[in-house]
Amino acid sequence: MKSSGQTTINDVARIAGVSKKTVSRVINRSPLLNDDTRRRVEDVIAELAYIPNPQARALALRRNFLIGLVHDNPNAQMVMNVQQGILEALHGTEFELVVRPVDRGSATMLVDLRHFLERQRLFGLVLLPPISENDTIAKLCAEIGCRYVRMGSARLDDDDHMVASNDCEAVRGATEYLIAQGHRRIGLIAGPHGFRSARERRLGFEQALADAGIALPRSMIADGTYTFESGLTAAERLLDLMPRPTAIFACNDEMAAGVMHAARQRGLDIPKDLSIVGFDDTPVAAHVWPPLTTVRWPIASMARSAALKLTAGLDGEDIVEEPSLFLSTLIRRASVAAPSH
Starting at the edge strand found earlier in the chain, the sheet holding 186-190 runs 221-223, 186-190, 247-250, 275-279, 293-296, 329-331
* 54 near its own copies (CB under 8 A): yes
Least gap, CB of 90 to its own copies (angstroms): 11
End-to-end alpha carbon distance in the chain: 81
Q: Which is nearer to its own copies, 90 or 168 (CB)?
A: 90
* 52 near DNA (CB under 7 A): yes
| Contacts made by residues 280-283, CB under 8 angstroms, sequence distance 24+ | 280/75, 280/78, 280/252, 280/253, 281/253, 281/331, 282/75, 282/77, 282/78, 282/253, 282/254, 283/77
- Binding range to DNA, per CB under 7 A, among 46-54, 95-103, 128-136, 146-154: 46-54
Size of the site for DNA (CB under 7 A): 33
Query: Among 23, 44, 70, 288, which residue sits at the site for its own copies (rule: CB under 8 A)?
Result: 288
The answer for residues whose C-beta is within 8 angstroms of residue 230's C-beta and 6 or more apart is 189, 223, 224, 255, 258
- List the single partner that 260 binds among DNA, its own copies, none, CB under 5 to 8 Å by kind: its own copies
- List the single partner that 36 binds among its own copies, DNA, none, CB under 5 to 8 Å by kind: DNA
Q: 3-class DSSP state for residue 15?
A: helix
Site string for DNA, 4-43 (x = CB under 7 A): xxx-xxx------xxxxxxxxx-xx---xxx-xxx-----
Q: In this structure, is the dihedral angle defined by the CA atoms of residues 52, 53, 57 and 63, taken in order, positive or negative? A: positive
Q: Which is nearer to its own copies, 198 or 285 (CB)?
A: 285
Say how far residue 279 (Cα) sits from the centre of its chain.
14
Least gap, CB of 308 to DNA (angstroms): 21
Q: Which is nearer to DNA, 24 or 77 (CB)?
A: 24
How far apart CA 59 and CA 61 sit, in angstroms, is 6
Task: Go through 55-78 and write b for each residue having 16 or more CB atoms within 10 A of its CB, e for each that does not.
Answer: eebbeeeebbbbbbbbbbbebeeb
Site for DNA in 59-118 (CB under 7 A): 59-62
Q: Which is nearer to DNA, 51 or 325 (CB)?
A: 51
* 207 near its own copies (CB under 8 A): no
- List the single partner that 8 binds among DNA, its own copies, none, CB under 5 to 8 Å by kind: DNA
* 239 near DNA (CB under 7 A): no
Quick one: DSSP state of residue 336?
Answer: -
> Phi and psi of 102, rounded to 5°?
-130, 165
Given a contact cutoff of 8 angstroms between Cβ atoms, the answer to whether 202 and 251 are in contact is: yes
- List the single partner that 84 binds among DNA, its own copies, none, CB under 5 to 8 Å by kind: its own copies
Least gap, CB of 1 to DNA (angstroms): 10
Given a contact cutoff of 8 angstroms between Cβ atoms, the answer to whether 295 and 326 are in contact is: no
* 58 near its own copies (CB under 8 A): yes
Q: Is residue 90 within a helix (H) or strand (E), and if so which, with residue range?
A: helix 76-90
Given a contact cutoff of 8 angstroms between Cβ atoms, the answer to whether 276 and 288 are in contact is: no
* 251 near its own copies (CB under 8 A): no
* 118 near its own copies (CB under 8 A): yes
> Interface with its own copies by CB under 8 A: which residues?
5-6, 51, 53-56, 58-59, 62, 64, 66, 76-77, 79-81, 83-84, 87, 94, 96-101, 115, 118-121, 228, 254, 257-258, 260-261, 264, 283-284, 286-289
